Chain A
Amino acid sequence: QSVLTQPPSVSAAPGQKVTISCSGGSSNIGSYYVSWYQQFPGTAPTLLIYDNDKRPSGIPDRFSGSKSGTSATLGITALQTGDEADYYCGTWDKSLNAGVFGGGTKLTVL
């Protein structure tokens, strides 16, 4: 059972937009920045969004992040088949004094 809650799966057609939610509490998302990671099968995760809404260099602006209260959202526009992957949110939890992740969301581009 993950500390942060994500939907197990989302899907959308190529060219469309999709959002992935990440729900937590006051001790984690409510107190710290959120980051997002993309993971393709058999490979290590890569950083997609940090500090709620910042993109590392090389990440296209089709990817965006936001946070409100104890929830965060990853948005992906102009979906491509190459975006099919697992997406994870992460942050720190001050009650656990540990890093925490969501359970992951599998994106299918139909």
Chain B
Amino acid sequence: QVQLVQSGAEVKKPGASVMVSCKASGYTFTSIDINWVRQATGQGLEWMGWVNPNNGHTGYAQKFQGRVTMTRDTSISTAYMELSGLRSEDTAVYYCVRLGYYGSASWFNWGQGTLVTVSS
């Protein structure tokens, strides 16, 4: 079965960067995009962007342009999301999500989430 296993919780100071990893299994990693979605405590879901594991191409929500970088390592079927210039408003649970199929806006499989806390 498809599984996305994310790295553990992080505590960062304002201005720092954080990298969250997402290891995929149960399917061909390069066959479909990985998206990243975050959720602040008590808030809704916020889409951040996507990475194509096959060619490394990316697309980011305008809000995160210039601060987020999504990459992948096909040798270990792992996707990464790095967010820089952290501020308190970035405190949230970050999810990696497997897109259902190209052309869809359906996020089929979700990682367990990684809590990133930004605090001085």
Q: Which residues of A contact B (CB under 8 A)?
A: 2, 32-35, 37, 44-47, 50-51, 56, 88, 90-92, 96-104
Contact = CB atoms under 8 A, between A and B. Distances in A.
Interface of B: 35, 37, 44-47, 49, 59, 61-62, 95, 100, 104-113
A44 B108 contact: no
A46 B44 contact: no
Q: Is the interface of B mostly helix, strand, loop or mixed?
A: strand
B45 A45 contact: yes
A90 B108 contact: no
A90 B113 CA distance: 18
Contacts of A100: 47
Given A44-B111, A44-B112, A46-B110, A99 B47 contact: yes
Contacts, number: 67
B106 A35 contact: yes
Contact of A99 (B44, B62, B105, B108): B105
12 contacts: A33-B104, A35-B100, A44-B111, A47-B100, A47-B106, A51-B106, A90-B106, A100-B47, A101-B44, A101-B47, A102-B44, A103-B44
B59 A97 contact: yes
A2 B45 CA distance: 9
A18 B37 CA distance: 27
Contact of A33 (B61, B105, B108, B110): B105
Given A44-B111, A47-B109, A98-B62, 18 more contacts: A32-B105, A34-B105, A35-B105, A44-B110, A47-B100, A50-B100, A51-B106, A90-B106, A90-B107, A91-B105, A98-B49, A98-B61, A99-B37, A99-B47, A99-B61, A101-B45, A101-B47, A103-B44
